[in-house]
A and B are shown apart, each in its own frame.
Chain A
Amino acid sequence: MSTIFFGIADRTFVFDRTVGRAEFSGSGFRAPMDLAVAPDGRIYVANRSWEYRPDGVRVTMLTIDEDYIGQFSSYGDGDGQLIWPSSVAVDSNQNVYVTDDHLNRVSVFDKDGQFLHKWGEAGSGDGQLNQPYCIRFDKEDNAYISDSGNNRIQKFSKDGRFMSKFGQQGSRAGELNLPWGITIDNDGNILVADWRNDRIQKFSPDGQYLSDFGNTGTSVGQFRRPTGVAVDKDGDIYVADWMNDRVQVFTGDARYVTTFLGEASLSKWGEEKLNSNPDMIRQRNMVQNKEAERRLWRPKAVAVDSEGRVIIVDSNRQRLQVYRKEVR
Chain B
Amino acid sequence: MAESDIALMAHLMRRAGFGATRDELEAYVAKGYEATVDELVHPERQPDVDFDLMERSLPEYGELAGIESNQQSWVYRMVNTKRPLQEKMTLFWHGILCTGFAKIDYGRMMSIYADLFRRKGLGNYRELIMELSSHPTMVYYLDNTDNHKDAINENYGRELLELFTLGVGMDGNFNYTEDDVKAASRAFTGWSVNPALPVFPYGRSPWSFRFDPTDHDDSEKTFLGKTGRWNGGDIVNMAVEQPATARFISRHLYNFFVADEPQVPAWKDTPPRDPEAIQILEKAFVDSGYEMSEVMSTLFNSDFFKNARFQKVKSPAEVVAGTIRLVKDHQQVKPGLFPVMKECTFMGQDLLNPPTVEGWHTGREWIDSGTLVERINFVADQVGNLDLPGVQLIASRMTGDNSITSPEAFVDGCLSLIGPVEVSEKTKEALVEHAKGGGEIRRGTEEERSSFARRVGEMLQLIVATAEYQYN
Q: A315 near B195 (CB under 8 angstroms)?
A: no
Q: Does A155 contact B (CB under 8 A)?
A: no
Q: Does A298 contact B (CB under 8 A)?
A: yes
Q: A264 near B63 (CB under 8 angstroms)?
A: no
Question: Inside 8 A of A195's CB, which chain B residues have their CB?
Answer: 56
Question: Inside 8 A of B66's CB, which chain A residues have their CB?
Answer: 50, 52-53
Q: Does A287 contact B (CB under 8 A)?
A: yes
Distance A318 CA – B65 CA, assembled complex (angstroms): 12
**For window 327-344 of chain B, which residues contact chain A by CB distance below 8 Å?**
334-335, 337-338
Q: Select from chain B the residue with minimum beta-carbon distance to A48.
A: B59
Contacting A22 at CB < 8 Å: which of B55, B60, B202? B202
B178-218 interface bits toward A, Cβ cutoff 8 Å, 1 = contact, 0 = none: 00000000000000001111111111011000000000000
A57 to chain B, nearest CB (A): 11
Q: B72 near A274 (CB under 8 angstroms)?
A: no
Contacting B200 at CB < 8 Å: which of A33, A280, A286? A280
A152 to chain B, nearest CB (A): 18
Q: A196 near B52 (CB under 8 angstroms)?
A: yes
Contacting B195 at CB < 8 Å: which of A21, A84, A264, A288? A288
Question: Inside 8 A of A273's CB, which chain B residues have their CB?
Answer: 200-201
Distance A21 CA – B58 CA, assembled complex (angstroms): 20
Question: Inside 8 A of B199's CB, which chain A residues have their CB?
Answer: 22, 280
Q: A31 near B63 (CB under 8 angstroms)?
A: yes
Q: How many residues of A contact B (CB 8 A)?
A: 45
B264-299 interface bits toward A, Cβ cutoff 8 Å, 1 = contact, 0 = none: 000000000000000000000000000000000000
Q: B337 near A316 (CB under 8 angstroms)?
A: no
Q: B335 near A84 (CB under 8 angstroms)?
A: yes
Distance A273 CA – B198 CA, assembled complex (angstroms): 12
Q: A22 near B59 (CB under 8 angstroms)?
A: no
**For window 254-304 of chain A, which residues contact chain B by CB distance below 8 Å?**
264, 266-267, 269-270, 273-274, 277, 279-280, 283-284, 286-290, 292-293, 297-298
Question: Inside 8 A of B194's CB, which chain A residues have their CB?
Answer: 287-289
Q: Select from chain B the residue with minimum beta-carbon distance to A289.
A: B194
Q: Does A324 contact B (CB under 8 A)?
A: no
Distance A53 CA – B334 CA, assembled complex (angstroms): 15
A149 to chain B, nearest CB (A): 10
Q: A270 near B201 (CB under 8 angstroms)?
A: yes
Distance A91 CA – B92 CA, assembled complex (angstroms): 55
Number of A-B contacts (CB under 8 A): 96
Question: Inside 8 A of B201's CB, which chain A residues have their CB?
Answer: 21-22, 28, 266-267, 269-270, 273-274
Question: Inside 8 A of A249's CB, which chain B residues have their CB?
Answer: none
Contacting A284 at CB < 8 Å: which of B57, B198, B203, B335? B198
Q: Does B127 contact A (CB under 8 A)?
A: no
Contacting A316 at CB < 8 Å: which of B52, B63, B206, B335? B63
Q: A283 near B63 (CB under 8 angstroms)?
A: no
* B interface: dominant SS: loop
Indicate the size class of the contact surface on chain B.
20 to 34
Q: Does B144 contact A (CB under 8 A)?
A: no
Question: Inside 8 A of A315's CB, which chain B residues have their CB?
Answer: 59
Q: A22 near B203 (CB under 8 angstroms)?
A: yes
Q: Does A225 contact B (CB under 8 A)?
A: yes
B450 to chain A, nearest CB (A): 26
Q: Does A165 contact B (CB under 8 A)?
A: no
Q: A293 near B60 (CB under 8 angstroms)?
A: no
A70-83 interface bits toward B, Cβ cutoff 8 Å, 1 = contact, 0 = none: 00000000000001
Q: A50 near B68 (CB under 8 angstroms)?
A: yes
A41-60 interface bits toward B, Cβ cutoff 8 Å, 1 = contact, 0 = none: 00000001011110000000
Distance A317 CA – B200 CA, assembled complex (angstroms): 10
Q: Select from chain B the residue with minimum beta-carbon distance to A273.
A: B201
Q: Does A243 contact B (CB under 8 A)?
A: yes
Q: Select from chain A the residue with minimum beta-carbon distance to B336.
A: A51
Q: Does B62 contact A (CB under 8 A)?
A: yes
Q: B58 near A51 (CB under 8 angstroms)?
A: yes
Distance A267 CA – B202 CA, assembled complex (angstroms): 10
Contact A283-B198, Cβ < 8 Å, known A31-B63, A50-B60, A52-B66 = yes
A87-100 interface bits toward B, Cβ cutoff 8 Å, 1 = contact, 0 = none: 00000000000000
A275 to chain B, nearest CB (A): 10
3 closest residue pairs by CB, A with B = A270-B201, A286-B195, A21-B201
Known contacts A50-B59, A51-B335, A293-B197, then 19 further A-B pairs from the complex at CB < 8 Å, ordered by chain A residue: A21-B200, A21-B202, A22-B200, A22-B203, A31-B59, A33-B59, A51-B60, A52-B68, A53-B66, A101-B57, A195-B56, A266-B201, A280-B200, A292-B197, A293-B202, A293-B205, A297-B63, A298-B55, A316-B62
Q: What are 7 A-B pairs at a CB distance below 8 A?
A: A22-B200, A83-B335, A195-B56, A273-B201, A297-B63, A316-B203, A317-B202
- Interface of A toward B, CB cutoff 8 Å: 21-22, 28, 31, 33, 48, 50-53, 83-84, 101-102, 178, 195-196, 225, 243, 264, 266-267, 269-270, 273-274, 277, 279-280, 283-284, 286-290, 292-293, 297-298, 315-319
- Interface of B toward A, CB cutoff 8 Å: 52, 55-60, 62-63, 66, 68-69, 72, 194-203, 205-206, 334-335, 337-338
